[in-house]
Every structure is written in C-alpha cells, then in structure tokens.
Structure 1
C-alpha cells in the first residue's frame, strides 16, 4: 500500500497527465452545457386566506387552519384534473406540431389530453411557503413565453378548480338536503297528526287545567272523607251507648218525662202508704206511673234507634266518599298517564320540527354557497412573466460537476498508469522494490553543485 508521501510523489511526477485529464473533462462539461437547449422557468404565486370566514354563516372555517392545508392545496395544483384544464385552456391538442409530437411518442392507450397533462406536470414545480400562506408555481420550458403562459394557466386552473370543488360540494349538499327535507317534513306531519288524534281521544288540551281541577276535587274528597270518618266514629260511639248516650240523656222531652215519672213514682208511694195497694186511687196512680214509664222507654228506644240509623248513614256516607276518592285517584292516575303520553308525543313533534328546521337552514345555506360561484379564498399574488435569462443549463453547476468528475477520473487514471508503469521516485521506493537495505545515497547534481560552490567560497 502506497504511503501518503509516495502518492504525492506519484501525482507530482505525473502532473501533466493529471492536469490534461482534468482540463479535458472541464472542456467536455462546458461543451455539454453549451450544446444543451436553454430552459426558462416562469413563476406565478397565489396567496391563500387561511383566516377566511364562511360567507354565509360568518363563522371561521376551521379546516383552513390545519397545518396540512397548504400541502393539500399544492397537491390540488399538482393534480391530473388541474393539468387537464390547462391543456384545454391552452388548446395545445389542436396544434398540428403537438399532434405530430404525440403520434411520434407512441404513448399507447393514453389520449392526447392525458399525455400532455402528464407532460406539463413533469415540468411543473409547486412549492408551499414554510413561513407564509403563499404557494409558488414554477414551470420550465424552452420557450420563455410558453413557460409564463403555462404557469399562469396553472394558477387560473387551480383557482377555478377550487371554486368548482366548493360549488359542487355545496350543490351536492343542497340536493341531499332537498331529498331529506321531504322525509323530515313527512315525519313532522305524522307526529302532528298523532298528537292531534291523541288529544281528541283523551280530551286533553295543551294546558294543565283539567288535571288541576281533578286534583282539587281529589283534595276535597279526601277532606270530606276525613270528616265523614270522624262523624261515623262519633255516631257509632253514641249508638253503642244506647239510652246512656248524651243525646238521649240531654233530650228535653226525655228529661221532662223522667221528671214526671219521678213525681208519679213519689205520688204512688204516698198513696200506697196512705190508702194501700188495693185502693182505686193507688191503682189510678199506678196506671199513670206505668203509662209515663212506657212513654219514657219508647222515647228512649226511639232516640236510641235514631242514633243507630245516624251511625249507619254516616258509615254509608264514609264508604261512598272512600269509593269516590279511590275513583278520583284512578282518574288522576289515568290523566297523568295520558299527560305523560301527550308529553312524549309533543316531544317527538318538537324534535321532528327542530330537525326539519335545521335541515331547512342547512339546505338554504348550501343553496347560497352553490350560487356564489365567484367566491374563493385564493388570490393571485404574482402573474408569471417571460423570464429574461435562462434557468438551465447553469455553467457554474456544470463546471463544478465537471471539475469534481475530472479530479476523480484523473486520480484513477494516474493510479492505474502508475500501477502498470511503476517508477522509482525515491530511495525508499528502491529499497522497497529490491527488498534490500539502503547503505548510501549519491547526492543529486544540484546538491553537488551547491557543495562545490560552498568550497570555492571558503578557498578564496
């Protein structure tokens, strides 16, 4: 393996060959650059308003704020549909020389429009800005005027494509909602009909007056039942007391008969003591006493029976009120059940109406969006103009590549030549080549001349 010093000696020894090869490659590179056709690059720029608000709702469009939005727009520019629009606007497919170029290419099943669209895309470069919302469209061609024309047409086709995508999406949405509105309207009508039918069947209106009246009636029945229960308990207590009931004892007529009976009893004892039990006056007094006693017993029995009848009537009234209260409760439960069903039907109607209103609003919004065909958030920032200088070939690029290639090629050739035609360039090379140690070296002619000159100087 050659050392670094040996390699330097090799390159110095064959410097002419090395220089000749490098210069040859440089000349060839310049020649290639000069014989190549000049390419011109025209650039157009568009600005995208990513903070644009929806023209219908006035709300900001959240999708425009996504980081990938600019790259998505760049892909739209660099798409087949956009390129086809450019082909149609330029009208290149009708030019005889373009048709001849297409036939000469023999592209198979691809149409002339598709072929030229692919050809345009190969020379198009789309670069989204990293620090702004600007997209640059650069097109390279041999004709500067044609390059500017294609770049501008790509910019216009992109704007038209953006508007077309928005309007087509809005129109499709509007058609969808038009179909859905028919279904939603039918649901609203069915819900309204079901609600009206149920109201007619149950007799319930929108207000809660009937339920309030029935609830008030329930409260009144409950209060009356409590009073009846109290009256029944009191009546039964008096009926169970019989002749000892306060109503019987405190009756004026009974008290009067008791007083008369007491008087007649005293008179009877008096007559019995004076005249004896067989005397006619005693018998008369006894008859009066028994008659008054019978009247008292009959009157007490009559009043006692009245208390029992009152207790029975009060119990019957209590049972009637209890049955009426239970019936009223069931009626209220039925009303509440009907009211709950009515609320469900009303809620179904409200939901159907809200859905219909939302769909109607969205359909109107989509219709307006579809009608706004000229609205877009993309604005031309710079129209491409024919470039004054070519963009390719760049001589300095070719020179740099040729120089690098020449250095590599010259180095390889020098090493190959040195390998097949090895020369002794130093004492170390001789020792390595012969494989024997070096004992002495003869000075070179220049070295000897230098020594002689020094000696002559000393002799003087």
Structure 2
C-alpha cells in the first residue's frame, strides 16, 4: 500500500520497477488497435440539413378554441425525439427495402443472442421460437441497429437547423438513408397535420351544435323569467326606483334637519315650564322671555316699551300721591293689563312652537317610513336583477362560444385545404468522398496514450497489492525498527570486474574479498560501520537471522565478517544453522565435519581449539556447524552453548552468528537470549510485511535486542533515483583505497570497542 508521505521519487521508482508491465500493456493495446484499425471496413457519413420552423399549429386543441395560450417550450426537443423514433425508423427501412432484407436474413445464429437461443433450445430448456417470432426479433434488431449505429441527429446551436446524418460502409447507401429519412419525416409531419385538421373539423362541428343548443336554452330561460316577473324594461324600472329612493332620502334628511332645529326651542320651553307644574312662575316667565321668538316678536317688544313707560309714569306719581290715589290705582291697572297681554302673547308663541315641533316630527316619521318601503322595493328589485343578470350573462357567454366555434370552424375548413409543412430541406445529402472511420493515425496515437495511462495504473495497482518490504522507509514505517543499510544486487559488471578468486573463497558470496571496489562491497562496509555503532552499548555478539529462507542472511554474515576483519577487529563467525549449514561452502572449508556441535559436546577439553577454523581472511575465524544433531533446538538451548559463546566473546572483538529463519524454527529465539543484538535480513521486494512482522513479534515476545533491519538484494540500477544519495556515497568511496578505508574505519571502531568492552579479565587473558 502507499504511504501518506509518498514523494515523487517513490512514484518514479514504481514506474521504473514496473516498466515491463507498462511496456507490455502498452504494446498489447497499440498492436490490438492498429490491427483493428487496418482490418476494419471504412465507414462513410452522409449528412442532410433541414430547417424546423416553430409554428402555431392550425390543428387546435380545446384550450386553443377558448383562446387560451399554450406553452410549447419543448417543441424542438420533441421533433428531435421523433427523428429518432422507432416508427420513423421502421418507415425508412420499409421504404429502402432494408426491413424486408432483415426479415429474410437468417444470420441470428452468429449473434450472441442467436447462440444463446440455440444453446437453450438444444438443451431442451425452451421451445424453439416460431417463424413469426423470429421475424419480429429480426425487425427489432434492424430498428435498433438503425437507431443506435446508423442515424445521428445533431441540432446546430443558436439556429433552427438540424443535421441528419447516416453512417454506412457503402457511401451511396449512407446518402440514400439520410435523404430518405428527412423525406419520410417531412411526409409524416404533413400527414399528421392533415389528419389532425380533419379530426378538428369534425370535433368543431360537434361542439358547434352543442353550443347552438346552449344558446337557445339560455335565451328561453331568460324570456320565461321576464314574463314571470312582469319585466318589460328592467333597466328603466331600476332607474325610476333608484331615483325615487334618492329623493326620499333627501326629504328624510331635510325633515330631520327641520325637526332638530324646532326641537331645540321645544325642549328649552319644556325645561322652563317644568319649573312649576301648575302655572308659570315669574322666574319661568322671565326665562321664556329669553327665547329668540319671544325676543324678536314685534308685539311683545311694543308691549314692553308701553310697560316700561307706564312703570316710569307710576314711579313719578308715587312720588306725588299715595298708593290708594285714584290715578295710581288706574295706572297700576293699565300696567297689569299690559303684562297680561305680554303673557298671552308668550303663551301663543309657546303653542305655536309646540305645534310646529309636533308637525316636523310627524313629517320626519312619515318620510322615514316611505324611505324604508322604497329600500325594500329596491332590494327586491336587486335580487331580481341578480337572477336576471345571471341569465343574461349565460346567454351572452353561450353566444360568444358559439361565435368563436363558428369562426374557428370556417378557418379550419379553409386552412385544411392550404396545409403545408413547417419543415423543409436546406441541403440534401451527397455521396461522401472520404471515410470518417477508422482514423488510423488518431487511433494509434490514442491507443498509445490510453495504453500508457492504463499500463501505469496497472503498474501502480500491482504495487498496491504488493505487500513486500521494498524501501528503507518501509522498514521504518511498517516494522518500527532501525534501518542499518541496504545490500545491492551484485551486477554483471561487478562480476566481470571481480579479481581472481582467492583460494578457498566463493567468488560471488564473498564479494567484499574478491571485488573490494564494487558497489556491494561498499554497501557491506557501510553496514559494518552502522552495526559497530549500533552494538557499542549492547556487546560484541551479534545474531544475524531472517523471517524466512533465501533472504541472504548467510552471505550477509560472511561479507559483514570480512569487512569487520578488514577493519582490524578480530572476528569470529559461528554457523548456528544446524539444519542447513552453509558457511563451510562459502569459505570452501574441506574439513568441516567437526564444528559447533563438537565444541558444545567437548566444552572444557582440547577439542575446542581444534574446531575453530582459520580463514584466508586475516583476523577472521570460522566455526562451522559440524555434524548435524538430531535435536538442534535442545542443543542450542543448553547451558553449554551459553558458556561456550561467553567464553568465545572474551577472545574475539566481534562474533557473528548465522542462524536459521525465525518463522521456520525456534533456534533464533533461543539464541536471542545469549547474544548482544540481532540483525534481521529482509529481501527487498520479496519479504512480506506480515511475514517479517511475525518474526519480529516472536523476538520481541522474549525481549530480544533488535539492532535493526538490513534490506538485501536491492536493484540499485533500477531504483537509482531512490538510492541516489547512498549510491553517491559508495561511488565516492570507490575512489579511495579499500584497505586504507577499512583500516581507518576499523581503527576508530576498534578504539571505541576497546573503551566500551575491555575488562580486566580480558587483559589478563
């Protein structure tokens, strides 16, 4: 799977790694498309152009008869659908004779459906279809092929033009199909209009008869209503009633105003008279004299002047005579007479006002009663007017419908004879001179693009399903262990440049010794440095193992031991793979019968010294496996094995132990308890994540000290951009003398090892 921090270098590495997948897929696609393009029959395209005018059809619907507009926004889309309709396709095929040919052709057995039908029939699962069913199936196939593979409809944007095209391997047939299609389309369009016009004329005639009967019925109902209510001229009568109602309303208002004006004086008089229930008192009389009609009365004014004069004269006489003097008595009598006349006149005025008020009140009530009667008559007339209006509007509405139907009937009858199609041919199809398909150059180019894209996707798919460890980042991310280094494959160039093999050394398995300046040798030296620094805090005993077989652990042990010996460290290699030992083959040891198993058995005797073998590499010793024991796990888990390795660790600077794979046997888990650290060898691009995780889990369960992982078998030439920085380091070191470099590194590491590991016991030994 892909990591979240995938870089462009990772994509390039995958492409180069899977380049043969991409090239193979690309080649297959290009060859297939090329062969198909050259073998495919040429296809010709012939196009006819037509103009479709949007029009208001003469064939009218019921809503159009009632003068209601209809929306026709989908008109053109409807026409395009008609051009691709099965009915039109069948008519064209019939006219060209292609439908009859399809009925007679019996090639269904070569189609997929024909083969399935034949197989099902042969197995007895279904009865064979009848001849008529087979003919119908051929007709449907011909129509489907015509609509899906032959005809194309292309509206020209921004115009009412439509291109009708036909495809065929025969250019003349393509032209004939395109022209026939537009001709049949125009003919069917015109026939549909004529048929609709005829239907419309008949429908309008029926509706006209119905409308005429409705007019007669509504007029009869109106006349009967007028006779029933005695209405001759409904409008004149209504005007008279409304005029009289207006006059009565005005009279009522005037009578009310008059009554209100008299009522004020009347109520004032009644209020003054109410001061004394028996007779008006002097105070009441004085208040009555303040009434405007009393004040403005000429007689009262004259009498008051006369009264004033008499009272003045009386006042003068009383100064001269006593009250019983005849002149005084006479003058008093005259004054009383004048006052009586004033009171009489006031009473007359009061009576007049009372009579006038009562008359005004009676007139107002009479006018109000007459107004109410007139209102009731007006309301009754309005009710009759409503019913009359309904009947009259019904008559008028029916007449309008009748007139409209009559007009449309005449128009439709005329236009039926003048009907023309709104579709016409602008350009007829012509015989094409060039084929439109196959476009060989374009097909080949597109096949290259598609093949390259799909091949790349396929390569990434293979990479996606590849569950192996491929890069140092995979070790860090998926295994959670340090990355110690990678070992490249030994290239053919490195093999050609190898020196003459040293005696008793395998040329390829000991590449550090026979080709010290090769890329692989530099990788082993880099690994040596990383291992030395990683093991400083743990000890000199290092176990090298792997998850499964053929990971390259034995070769790694051999070359790592050689580099350590070249650096000046006294190194010992122990072959603890008691089931499939290989170290004696790598170093070409002939006397390998005695080895580790014998040392364990003879621990404490002189046989131990005899078992340690000297190699041709200075500072490098080897303990081969020896005789294969029947119980390797029990032997390695014994106390003798632990004591032996501890004893050897006091005599050597570094001890490398080659063990079997972890997932195969339990030997590495047992040995992990007596070593200082473990190096796990991982075959790049082959070892699965789950496999190596299972091995690491076994080691972690016993709390083994894992120094890190080594990625073995890396194809540096293929993944050179990914390992560019590593390769540059190797290339730089190739310019230096290998022995000199080894001595320098070995000296530094040796000094650190001595400081860290040297003990008084070792010095004494």
TM interval, short-chain normalised? 0.5 to 0.7
Q: Is the 8 A contact 1:9 1:425 kept in 2?
A: no
Residues 61-86 of structure 1 deviation map (CA, whole Å, 9 limit, x = unaligned): 9856x3x5433322221111221221
Aligned residue among 404, 408, 413 for 1:358: 404
Aligned residue among 99, 106, 111 for 2:104: 99
What is the TM-score when the length of structure 2 is the normalising length?
0.36
Tell me, what secondary structure is at the counterpart of 1:126? Answer: strand
Q: Given the alignment of the two structures, is residue 31 of structure 1 paired with residue 35 of structure 2, yes or no?
A: yes
- Tell me the CA shift for residue 206 of structure 1: 4.8
Distance 1:442 1:19, change over 3 A: farther
- Tell me the CA shift for residue 120 of structure 1: 0.8
Tell me, what secondary structure is at the counterpart of 1:381? Answer: strand
Q: Is the 8 A contact 2:50 2:162 kept in 1?
A: yes
Q: Distance in 1 between matches of 2:441 and 2:212?
A: 74
Gaps of 5+ in 2: 1-5, 61-66, 118-128, 250-362, 463-488, 495-516, 527-729, 737-765
Aligned residue among 382, 399, 403 for 2:444: 399
Q: Given the alignment of the two structures, is residue 78 of structure 1 paired with residue 84 of structure 2, yes or no?
A: yes
Q: Distance in 2 between matches of 1:93 and 1:155?
A: 18
Q: Which residue does 2:388 correspond to in 1? A: 342
Q: Given the alignment of the two structures, is residue 424 of structure 1 paired with residue 491 of structure 2, yes or no?
A: yes
- Tell me the CA shift for residue 350 of structure 1: 0.8
Aligned residue among 224, 228, 235 for 1:201: 228
Q: Given the alignment of the two structures, is residue 127 of structure 1 paired with residue 132 of structure 2, yes or no?
A: no
Q: Distance in 1 between matches of 2:34 and 2:170?
A: 22
Q: Is the 8 A contact 2:94 2:100 kept in 1?
A: no
Q: Distance in 1 between matches of 2:453 and 2:521?
A: 28
Residues 111-155 of structure 1 deviation map (CA, whole Å, 9 limit, x = unaligned): 554432222101211111122221111111111111111111221
Q: Is the 8 A contact 1:42 1:144 kept in 2?
A: yes
Aligned residue among 142, 149, 154 for 1:116: 142
Distance 1:9 1:99, change over 3 A: closer
Q: Is the 8 A contact 1:76 1:82 kept in 2?
A: yes
Q: Given the alignment of the two structures, is residue 377 of structure 1 paired with residue 422 of structure 2, yes or no?
A: yes
Q: Is the 8 A contact 1:168 1:370 kept in 2?
A: no
Q: Distance in 2 between matches of 1:35 and 1:362?
A: 64
Tell me, what secondary structure is at the counterpart of 1:205? Answer: coil
Q: Which residue does 1:297 correspond to in 2? A: none
Q: Which residue does 2:734 correspond to in 1? A: 441
Q: Which residue does 1:87 correspond to in 2? A: 93
Distance 1:414 1:216, change over 3 A: closer
Q: Which residue does 1:47 correspond to in 2? A: 51
Distance 1:221 1:441, change over 3 A: closer
Q: Is the 8 A contact 2:522 2:734 kept in 1?
A: no
Instruction: Report 1:8-407 matches (<5 A).
Output: 26=30, 29-50=33-54, 52=55, 66=73, 68-95=74-101, 99-101=104-106, 106=114, 109=133, 110=136, 112-123=138-149, 124-206=151-233, 208-209=235-236, 337-368=383-414, 370-373=416-419, 375-404=420-449, 407=452
Tell me, what secondary structure is at the counterpart of 1:199? Answer: helix
Q: Distance in 1 between matches of 2:410 and 2:162?
A: 33
Distance 1:174 1:384, change over 3 A: same
Q: Which residue does 2:579 correspond to in 1? A: none
Tell me, what secondary structure is at the counterpart of 1:140? Answer: strand
Q: Is the 8 A contact 1:48 1:378 kept in 2?
A: yes
Q: Is the 8 A contact 1:63 1:69 kept in 2?
A: no
Q: Distance in 2 between matches of 1:170 and 1:433?
A: 98
Q: Distance in 1 between matches of 2:520 and 2:445?
A: 41
Tell me, what secondary structure is at the counterpart of 2:41? Answer: coil
Q: Distance in 2 between matches of 1:429 and 1:410?
A: 35
Distance 1:22 1:217, change over 3 A: closer
Gaps of 5+ in 1: 223-317, 417-421, 444-460
Q: Is the 8 A contact 2:208 2:406 kept in 1?
A: yes
Q: Distance in 2 between matches of 1:338 and 1:36?
A: 89
